[in-house]
Chains A and B, each alone.
Chain A
């Protein structure tokens, strides 16, 4: 089985936000929630850099470890998913996540959180693959259709790579070799405890 990962080649990201838009549209993500976003560091200054970030589907995922109701599960493709039926909206996964991936619709009084929403790697949720219930709760299940996450598919500069970790790491290494530079796989050390030498 594949070990699915995201890799953002920060030297190619131009902050076009196509990934963000593709994601919101594909899954009909509710207003106020972004499963993916592009962060620009040193915006407008020399040394500016943009990185597209969503749930990294960590190895030994912190969200799953701290969840009080154990609503997370890891698929055979190492995609970290959760059940919105079990989620109680406590916010603990949000405290633990290194990438700010969990999002909460604001429902009810005070700051009370609804069911957590995050990137599913376009792999839906615990409901039957491609079912209406699954779509309503988690969005499209492209993985079940043999397709990769839409954010990476739509990336205008092919900066964002999605797929089996070893394959995308190989693609990235070849790029770095050919062009002669690279800034590493952002977030990989935190998410997977490994980096790609560049």
Chain B
């Protein structure tokens, strides 16, 4: 096994996802298959090869430091489940 049910529960918690027992078992098995498949990639010899973070060979994509129009705050808030005045309103969180 590449991954345990406890690890699936942990990852689900980090993603704030709530699964039933049944789902946990199913996802453990599915993730296990995926990770087994990934193992195949480990068979390739990568000695002396720099890890890459992108598939395209592009670097230094920049924009100049210029200000353009933002959205109006009405538009910014238009998708918000709850708003109050110019603010988004969320359940109180203090950490």
Do A and B originate from a single complex? no
Chain A residues proximal to chain B, CB less than 8 Å? none
